[in-house]
Amino acid sequence: MKRIKIEKKIVDYRVSTAESSDIPDTAETVESKAVESPESKVVRMHERLERPGTLRGSTYKIKTPISEHAMYITINDIVLNPGTEFEKYRPYEIFINSKNLDHYQWIVALTRVMSSVFRKGGDVAFLVEELKAVFDPKGGYWQPGGIFMPSIIAELGYVVEKHLQSIGIIPLEKLDEHQKKLVEEKRQEFENRNRQQDVFDQGSFPVGAQLCGHCNAVAMVMMDGCLTCLDCGYSKCS
């Protein structure tokens, strides 16, 4: 508390309370009110936040064609400010389990680093792009649905992205009604001219479609002199 030196004789006094409306706010009262405001009591993610006994978790399964064993990815979330208007879910830790011991060392290292980034707080969405940008020098693989995965790490990035979207950290990218209508019209027009099946997607996209660099689906077709994706609507001319 700041000390005030009294240089004159005291002739009167009164007690200042929070309900006093006729007393102007000083710097100290304004500061105390700010401390007591609801926003100031909001708990945010930081590395010193103690882990609770129970965390909500989601488990995702990855089955790649280059390995006979599946990988199970578990991401546990911590609930911040439960029961309030500021309630949020934030990732706290990640675990990867697999019977394939060939990947054991890098799995342990990667999960420890990612868990540390989660607990650090701040914007963790950058992990998604960093993971999705990893390419395997031996080549990637195709997943069901015609989605090309450049590496196992890249597919892990898609899993993390899906989880962050489910808890509201990354917004979902959805086509509006106009875009959906345009993509559907282009799809029908192209399929009417080429009534063949796509080898990767069992008929969802026409044969001859190219890989879309935006969504990794084999759905890029030449429409009106421009390559257009029939899955996400991306166009190289736009």
Phi-psi region of 208 (alpha: psi -120 to 50; beta: other; left: phi over 0): left
Q: Which pTM does this prediction carry?
A: 0.61
Question: Looking at the predicted structure, is the pLDDT value of residue 40 above 50?
Answer: yes
Compare 18 and 73 and report the one with higher pLDDT.
73
Alpha-carbon distance of 170 to 124, in angstroms, equals 10
Residue 199 binned pLDDT confidence (cut-offs 50, 70, 90): very low
Residue 17 binned pLDDT confidence (cut-offs 50, 70, 90): low
Alpha-carbon distance of 220 to 26, in angstroms, equals 65
pLDDT of 27 reads 53
pLDDT of 76 reads 96
Q: Which of 21-51 are b and which e, b meaning 16 or more Cβ less than 10 Å from the residue's Cβ?
A: eeeeeeeeeeeeeeeeeeeeeeeebeeeeee
Task: Tell me the range of 70-84, 135-149, 195-209, 220-234 where mean pLDDT is highest.
Answer: 70-84
Alpha-carbon distance of 200 to 198, in angstroms, equals 5
Question: Looking at the predicted structure, is the pLDDT value of residue 229 above 90?
Answer: no
pLDDT of 156 reads 95
Give percent of the chain with pLDDT exceeding 90. Answer: 32
Question: Looking at the predicted structure, is the pLDDT value of residue 30 above 60?
Answer: no
In tens, the pLDDT along 124-145 reads 999 999 999 999 988 888 887 7
